[in-house]
Structure 1
Amino acid sequence: MEKTKHSFSYWQWRTIIGTMIGYAVFYFVRKNLSFAIPGLTAEYGISKAALGAILAIVSIVYGVSKLLNGFLADRVNGRWHMVAGLSVCTIVNVLFGFGAMICAYFVGSDYGETFTHALILLFGILLVVNNIFQGCGFPPCNRLMTHWVPPHELSTKMSLWNTSHSIGAFVAAVLCGFIMGQFGTDQSGNNELRERVVANTQSVTSSMDPEAARAYVDGMLQHYGAWQWTFWVPAAIAAIGVVFIIIVLRDTPKSVGLPELPGTVKSGKSREESKAHRQFIWNHVIKSKLVWILALADFFVYVVRMAVLDWGPTFLQENRGLSPAAAASVVAIFEVFGILGMLSAGVITDKLFKGRGQRTSVFCMIGVVLFIAAFCFFPLQTDPLLLCGFLICAGFFLYGPQALIGVIASNQVTRRGASSAVGIIGFVSYIAPIVSGYVFGILADTPSVGWDGVFKIMIIVAVAGALTMAVLWNVKADAYETEAAATDSNKLEEDSLDG
């Protein structure tokens, strides 16, 4: 018995750590486009509006994929589900790197309007495919965790597991920032290319003083073509990740000769039980006002978060004069502080607010508002380190609600409907890039609005998030007591009928 317990603990932690690393690697081949955008703009004149439209479309695709893969994950082997998704994403990222060469081959030119349109189309198609298979990341991890971690330990260990996406985004930011600052070929002596880059970055450099504008163009020319390596290097790491997942993970305890956790394997349900479960999902999840309020709040949170992650590197270079490496470092530290904020929010919720995560979320969103406002309204002449510090502190507060909203939903609909509730909230949240990607991309390109206007809108969105969470201020910490009372009542009714 002791040997079995020790063996189960070993495999449990092997699964937790393995899925954390595996899911983090998905971010290497998902968030790297953000760091390629400045290079693509400089070399080919692709507008932020066009890139924003693509980001918005593919994010919706990812949301749908995540929802559908959630249903699929309950029916297939978790390890091979992850392997299939990461393998396709690896291949797609290799093709991203060769995108310009592929378009030049078919178009017959490596520059011009036709070439640019072809490149945007190819990137759009590849991003759609990539995000379809990115949906194979979280659902199988969630399945594996529920098979290896008992319910009374799941909240704590899932909180730890949830740091995986921030770790992945952090490492990806550092890596891609280094690539953009060190890779590529030096074309500073090519006058034809210089004229092209100057023309393509006119909307960026027009607000800079001449010396800063010249330095920006020089930086792009010194690392010409570096954007390709932001796809190839992460793809190589993802390929190693595929092998890692195959070696480390197993699907269920039964697959390694261990007993299953009580309640994790449910087979042979009667028709009546299945009907009752569907009725529960309809009444207590799909028709729940609370679930949809949380989904709306998560939408506001994701608008702010995705705006920073998708446009942060570009904004910090164009509007604050940071180098590619420095801009990437800020985004990376933003993720690190997000992890700290996530863990802090969990402790505060349990210790101070007795499990009422919505109260923690309200204060967190107020913190987001204050620090983004400071970042936006302090003069441009302010020390860049101080300005970046404001943005990083906003990340600390922002990631608390992101982690807590799913926990709040799970506690309110109970474990009977937790996956469905989180699926709905996750789908709604990934509609957010219509705003953060497409709308913000257009506004950033609009001279009368620009980046300053975008950040002012982000403040309004954060205020809306705080007000939405405040609606739930007095909601109980969980509904398990209510569910238990309803179950006991049903049981008494059944017993009286049997008697």
Structure 2
Amino acid sequence: METGYKTPPEKFAAFLKRQKMVFIVAFLGYVCAYLVRNNFKLMSKSIMVTNGWAKDDIAMLLSCLAVSYGLAKFYMGALGDKVSLRKLFALSLAASAVICIIIGFYHTSIAALAVLLVLCGVVQGALAPASQNMIANYYPNRTRGAAIAGWNVSQNFGSAMLPMMVAGMTTLGWIVPGTGHVLAAFVVPAVLVLVCAAFCWKYGGDSPEKEGLDSLRQMYGEGGESNVASEEEQSSLSYWQLIWKYVFCNPALLLVASVNVALYFIRFGVEDWMPIYLHEVAKMEDAHAQMAISVLEWVAIPGSLVFAWLAAKYPNKMARIGAIGLFVMAGVVMAYEAITASGAPNYALMLVVCGVLGALIYGPQLIVNILTINFVPLKVAGTAIGFVGVTAYLIGNMGANWVMPIMADHFGWFWSYVVVAGLSAFAAVGYLILARHEEEVIKA
């Protein structure tokens, strides 16, 4: 690696060791974040049926989590720019686990669930900005995109592990969906997450400088950080001036946020409504529907790793790559709808399509994380991550929660997926517009 010939070899070796450990903490911690975030979503059909609730009730509860999580990503991201990332990450992870356990005992009350899901969203909102910010602070331009892309796979591991854990506990009789006996789906994952939170507290990191190491700029020169703002400007402007100029008034970041809104609608429009859609339209049993979700998540992992490899090979051309993936996604979404609409789909073919969907949902979305960090000074990276996240959750996630069932009830599921395909094409065009700016600010 290029060190700029300023850092002593032993000091650089210590940095590389910490760099690897910080990635492990950010990765494992975010895997665990999903083990205590999607529990209600996964058990939504069982809870809806056993309590006699309507789809609108589930949509409202999912929105409680989405709104609080989206807002929290912004102010928790901003908080992460000011406090210890290590402590914020570990404490928020532990709090998420405790709330998940409580949800397991109060899943028969809409009011209690609404409050608990709001609280869950608040503490979960710190996890993505803090973990991405940790990685951004320890990785230079050449490897930052690949590291962020590799970290992005953590959500696939978490999302895929939870259904498998639930399926295993269902087989063992610990969970009985038909009777509403779902406590283990919340308690067992939460206990594992509490252990991981202790690990993150001990081994997480804030920045190389705070550990007595050299800064990325000192070690890697111009390739240490993006060339969005000079060191002089970052020193002369206050924190709030940097936020105003490079977050709220940054045209490139605003377009990234718009693309992310579309991508979150696609992701949650497909994933959140897959259990109910496959039950109502494809006439599938719960086990088959859960397997489809699991396949989507697991195949997304090698798909995302391909994008991570591309990020390492082409660190300033990720926007173009994302555009290609999203144009393909539009066609795959409509293929998924066509295959399942018959009410008796070819199950093997449907699983293949679900796997392709997973790769094309998460691959282009990880590029948003890369561009967000690359388009702002690292001093305000947490705030930028939170800003892009809050718009995605408040508009994209909420839009998917409400538009998908409304379109399905009034016009049919076909038109719900037409909206998803259209947004995929919109996001692809957005990436094409961002491609030139990416090449200008990233000097690998």
TM-score, normalised with respect to structure 2: 0.83
C-alpha change, 1:228 and 1:442, in structure 2 (3 Å) is farther
Q: Are 1:11 and 2:18 an aligned pair?
A: yes
Q: Which amino acid aligns with 2:344?
A: Q
Secondary structure in 2 aligned to 1:154? helix
* Aligned match of 1:173: 163
C-alpha separation between the residues in 1 aligned to 2:63 and 2:344? 33
Q: Are 1:300 and 2:226 an aligned pair?
A: no
Secondary structure in 2 aligned to 1:227? coil
* Aligned match of 2:343: 380
C-alpha separation between the residues in 1 aligned to 2:55 and 2:279? 14
CA RMSD of aligned residues (A): 3.2
C-alpha change, 1:283 and 1:17, in structure 2 (3 Å) is closer
8 A contact 1:346–1:404 mirrored in 2: no
8 A contact 2:78–2:382 mirrored in 1: no
8 A contact 1:25–1:238 mirrored in 2: yes
- String of CA shifts for 1:213-254, please: whole Å, max 9, x gaps: xxxxxxx54xx2342221111111112222222343344556
> Following TM superposition, by how much is the alpha carbon of 1:482 offset from its aligned partner in structure 2, in angstroms?
7.1
* Aligned match of 1:259: 213
Q: Are 1:56 and 2:63 an aligned pair?
A: yes
> Following TM superposition, by how much is the alpha carbon of 1:330 offset from its aligned partner in structure 2, in angstroms?
1.9
8 A contact 1:177–1:324 mirrored in 2: no
Q: Are 1:470 and 2:426 an aligned pair?
A: no
Unaligned runs of 5+ in 1: 101-115, 187-219, 485-499
C-alpha separation between the residues in 1 aligned to 2:365 and 2:299? 13
* Aligned match of 1:231: 186
**Greater Rg, structure 1 or structure 2?**
1
Q: Which amino acid aligns with 1:261?
A: S
> Following TM superposition, by how much is the alpha carbon of 1:397 offset from its aligned partner in structure 2, in angstroms?
1.4
Identity of aligned residues (%): 21
Q: Which amino acid aligns with 2:256?
A: L
Q: Which of 384, 399, 402 is the equivalent residue of 1:438?
A: 402
C-alpha change, 1:185 and 1:289, in structure 2 (3 Å) is closer
Q: Are 1:45 and 2:73 an aligned pair?
A: no
8 A contact 2:266–2:400 mirrored in 1: yes
Q: Identify the range of structure 1 (136-145 vs 166-175) with the bigger mean alpha-carbon deviation.
A: 136-145
Secondary structure in 2 aligned to 1:380? coil
* Aligned match of 1:490: none
Q: Which amino acid aligns with 1:470?
A: V
C-alpha separation between the residues in 1 aligned to 2:78 and 2:375? 21
Q: Which of 122, 125, 128 is the equivalent residue of 1:135?
A: 125
C-alpha change, 1:304 and 1:178, in structure 2 (3 Å) is farther
Task: Within 5 Å, give how 1:204-215 maps onto structure 2.
Answer: none
C-alpha change, 1:22 and 1:433, in structure 2 (3 Å) is same
C-alpha separation between the residues in 1 aligned to 2:121 and 2:301? 24
8 A contact 2:326–2:364 mirrored in 1: yes
> Following TM superposition, by how much is the alpha carbon of 1:126 offset from its aligned partner in structure 2, in angstroms?
0.2
> Following TM superposition, by how much is the alpha carbon of 1:412 offset from its aligned partner in structure 2, in angstroms?
4.6
8 A contact 2:283–2:344 mirrored in 1: no
* Aligned match of 1:457: 416
C-alpha separation between the residues in 2 aligned to 1:442 and 1:177? 30
8 A contact 2:159–2:297 mirrored in 1: yes
Secondary structure in 2 aligned to 1:320? coil
Q: Are 1:334 and 2:296 an aligned pair?
A: yes
* Aligned match of 1:368: 329
> Following TM superposition, by how much is the alpha carbon of 1:283 offset from its aligned partner in structure 2, in angstroms?
4.2
> Following TM superposition, by how much is the alpha carbon of 1:45 offset from its aligned partner in structure 2, in angstroms?
0.9
Q: Which of 360, 366, 384 is the equivalent residue of 1:397?
A: 360
Q: Which amino acid aligns with 1:381?
A: A
> Following TM superposition, by how much is the alpha carbon of 1:334 offset from its aligned partner in structure 2, in angstroms?
0.9
Q: Which amino acid aligns with 2:161?
A: V
* Aligned match of 1:315: 277
Secondary structure in 2 aligned to 1:381? coil
Q: Which of 136, 143, 159 is the equivalent residue of 1:153?
A: 143
C-alpha separation between the residues in 1 aligned to 2:140 and 2:433? 29
> Following TM superposition, by how much is the alpha carbon of 1:153 offset from its aligned partner in structure 2, in angstroms?
2.9
> Following TM superposition, by how much is the alpha carbon of 1:31 offset from its aligned partner in structure 2, in angstroms?
0.8
Q: Which amino acid aligns with 2:203?
A: V
Unaligned runs of 5+ in 2: 1-7, 219-230
* Aligned match of 1:357: 318
> Following TM superposition, by how much is the alpha carbon of 1:411 offset from its aligned partner in structure 2, in angstroms?
4.0
Secondary structure in 2 aligned to 1:394? helix
- String of CA shifts for 1:175-201, please: whole Å, max 9, x gaps: 123334543577xxxxxxxxxxxxxxx
TM-score, normalised with respect to structure 1: 0.75
